[in-house]
Amino acid sequence: MKRRNFFRSLALGGASVAFSPIVKAAPSAQAVKEKPATNIKDVLAIPRNENSMPGKYPGKVVKATHPGCIVDGQPSEEAAYEMLRNCLLNLTGKENLKEAWLQFVGPDDVIGLKVNPIAGKLLSTSHALTQSIINQLEEAGISRKNIVIWDRREADLKESGFTPENYPDIRIIGTEYTDENGSYINAEGKFYGEERIDKEHYYFVDLEGEYDAYTMPFMINGGKYSYFTKICTEMVTKIINVPVLKNAGTTITSCMKNLAFGSITNTARLHGPMWHDTCASACAFPPLRDKVVLNITDGMIGCFDGGPAANPQFICHYNTILAGSDPVAVDRIGYDMVIETYRRRRAGGRESRGTCLYGYGTGV
């Protein structure tokens, strides 16, 4: 499929099978059921801009591998810096690192680094890569005060070490957050996070979401609307997506999953029948489509099964960083890597718990 036609294809309902011939041979039961109505056709009519996905380098993915990038069980910042440098130079064709970065961002931009902190310190976006991105942005003339580290939930960011102490002069923010007493709800009975969502930008799916105070006390809203965070719609002008290379159940979570489910509310209802559609559809909305200029997948440490949580028996060292402006292309390469590792581990006698990754596609 041509990349320029990718988001247009969403209106036809075929995006989840367009990128993997394996899926065509073994479609899931969900794929043949009628999907609930959405507002994706309305969104596809909104004009694109010069930054719109798939970006400056459609279909191009660069891969940097360093067998010694893990030192004492942790990614090395020195190695991550060099791997990232190689990725940027090879992706852009530039000889100068500053020029390479300026293909994507400028000194007047407010740049949001969309990390993935949900698996704690064991399996979240590494600080080695995050610090390397920040250092290279600074070298390209970007002020630290113009850099934002963000995700959906502030508690996850803090737990994974994304704190002011580790990242001075950089704003760290989540859509869902608590007060000093740990409450998500203010004195008026409203979620604090409500002030950080933009009700002018929403993904409508004719599928009801129900508030669950016990398992999801942070859930800002139920119903049939998923609202985009103001971090995307108002705060930042460019987004650099920094996911982790890992599986998530019977698929993977990388570029598009990290963006889609990290940027909107009321997602519990979308994890089942609308997983693949949401990964693609949310990325077709202007707050993501027009602002995500670069995807840098952290594959130094990842997992091949048991994800998206950190299950130590399935954590592995891919020793890799992937980069591209095209999240679909980057996810496809990452998908192949996860499957190959899964198959190799099984063939080597180390049986996984039986998740058949290759039967359900890429989540894109």
* Other residues' Cβ atoms within 10 Å of the Cβ of residue 298: 28
Sign of the Cα torsion 67, 69, 71, 73 reads negative
User: Is pLDDT above 60 for 354?
Assistant: no
Q: What is the mean pLDDT of residues 206-218?
A: 80
Mean pLDDT of the 209-218 span: 75
With beta carbons less than 8 A apart as the criterion, state whether 300 and 246 touch.
no
d(CA 227, CA 45): 19
Asked, for residue 29, whether it belongs to a domain, the answer is: no
Residue 214 has pLDDT above 50, yes or no: yes
Report which secondary-structure segment, H or E, holds 25: helix 21-25
Pairing of strands 70-71, 197-209: unpaired
pLDDT of residue 257: 96
In a domain, 50, yes or no: yes
Where are the strands (E) in 124-266, listed by range? 147-153, 171-176, 197-209, 223-229, 238-242, 246-248, 251-253
pLDDT of res. 13: 34
Q: Which domain holds residue 148?
A: 37-345
What is residue 299's predicted lDDT score, i.e. its pLDDT? 98
Averaged pLDDT for residues 316-326: 98
11 in a structural domain:
no
pLDDT, mean of residues 132-154? 98
Q: Is residue 13 part of a domain?
A: no
Residue 96 included in any domain: yes
79-104 pLDDT per residue, tens: 999 999 999 999 999 999 999 999 99
pLDDT of 181: 92
Q: Look up the CATH number of the domain holding residue 293.
A: 3.40.50
Domain count, the chain: 1
Q: Classify residue 335: in a domain, yes or no.
A: yes
Residue 263: is its pLDDT beyond 60? yes
Q: In this structure, is residue 8 part of a structural domain?
A: no
133-171 burial: b if 16+ Cβ within 10 Å, else e: bbebbeebebeeebbbbbbbbbbbbebbbbeeeebeebb
Does residue 176 have a pLDDT over 60? yes
Quote the CA–CA distance of 108 and 258 in Å, as a whole number.
25
- Judged against a pLDDT cut of 70, whether residue 359 lies above it is answered with no
* pLDDT top residue among 286 and 28: 286
User: DSSP letters of 60-79?
Assistant: --EEEE-TT-EETTEE-HHH
Query: Where is average pLDDT lowest: 132-136, 141-145, 253-257, 285-289?
Result: 253-257
- Per the domain annotation, does 20 fall within a domain? no
pTM of this prediction? 0.87
| Stretch 17-28: mean pLDDT | 33
The highest-confidence range among 128-137, 181-190, 212-221, 263-272, by mean pLDDT, is: 128-137
Check residue 212 and give its pLDDT.
Answer: 74
Give the pLDDT confidence of 308-317 residue by residue, as tens digits: 888 889 999 9
